[in-house]
Amino acid sequence: MTDTTKSEGIKKFQRYALWLLVYTLLVIVWGAWVRISQSGDGCGDHWPLCNGQFIPGTNTFIPAKKTWVEYTHRLMSGAFGLIVFWIFWRARKLFQQNHPARRAATASLIFMITEALLGAKLVLFGLVMKNDSPLRTFAMSLHMINSLMLVGSITLLWSLAFENPGHWRETLDGIKFQKSWAKRRIIGVTIIFAFLATSGAIAALASTLFPSESLLDGLNQDLSSSSHYLIRLRILHPILGILVGSGLGGLAWFYSEGLKASTELSLAAKRLSQVCFVAVPFGIITLLSLAPEWMKLTHLLLAHSLWISLVLVMKNVLWQQSTGFSSK
């Protein structure tokens, strides 16, 4: 492969990785619609077949609409899996052995497989519809964390897929932090965001299984010791959302204003602050509006957009802190 051909191939790969990221968000949002519309049992307890068929027919016990909502999600997920396998193979062809983009492609493949296994578990174990067991709560939390890792890996894949061998080290392990605080803060922020996302998954499940008639009614249920544990836990998410979202947005804005050395890092931090300042008010409005379906889906999309922005900031912090590295 000539240098020109390889360069063109990498440019195309960047576009493919970006479209994969967009498609990933679409699959996640449709998966949320499966839960919101209570279509998780649309294919019965069969997986990967739907009601025992490759192409489902009409089942007298399950409305056709639910079947096609769930089946569409399975088709989208199946196509997603094939694309990730192709992206993984393509990355190995285009990039040298220790290029970080290859590692991101490997991580994307691993988290895609675990995402599929978690989705299958929800169906096979009957953790759908009105199931309110602690096992479903635990599985949903794992599902959310795995989705974050999958989206983060694909975000890094897109961001790292550039041809500039003079600027990346032989191995990602070769990157040394000049200041240990950067590493600690990246790990800490990731854990905090994962906790916030998990609380969001619990709150979403609670609002689906136990919808409130009014804001006051919902608050009374949240504070009642006799309420279901999911109802009592859901109040954590709006509190954490306001605190973490506002704090993260403010810190990112001040950080971007004080940066001089790295334009890319400054822009990434500014984008993060902008997404925070949209996501937090929207989350509050969603809560006050008793979370209509379209707002739930938009809220989920904003949450993942916030995570993507945060991943790009953390990636640029890591890159800037490595010796003599610039992602430009």
Q: Which residues are catalytic?
A: 70
Q: Is residue 106 left, alpha or beta, with left meaning phi > 0 and alpha meaning psi from -120 to 50?
A: alpha
Query: In which residue are the tokens 């392990």 written?
Result: 173
Q: Which residue(s) pair with 59 in the sheet? A: 62
Q: In the numeric block, which tokens belong to residue 48? A: 């990967």
Helix H, strand E, coil C: the string for the chain is: CCHHHHHHHHHHHHHHHHHHHHHHHHHHHHHHHHHHCCCCCCCCCCCCCECCECCCCCECCECHHHHHHHHHHHHHHHHHHHHHHHHHHHHHHHCCCCCHHHHHHHHHHHHHHHHHHHHHHHHHCCCCCCCCCHHHHHHHHHHHHHHHHHHHHHHHHHHHCCCCCCCCCCCHHHCCCCCHHHHHHHHHHHHHHHHHHHHHHHHHHHHHHCCCCCHHHHHHHHHCCCCCHHHHHCCHHHHHHHHHHHHHHHHHHHHHHHCCCCHHHHHHHHHHHHHHHHHHHHHHHHHHCCCCHHHHHHHHHHHHHHHHHHHHHHHHHHHHHCCCCCCC
Q: Which residues contact 120 (CB under 8 A, 6 or more apart)?
A: 47, 48
Residue 56 CA: distances (Å) to CA of 82, 125, 240: 21, 20, 42
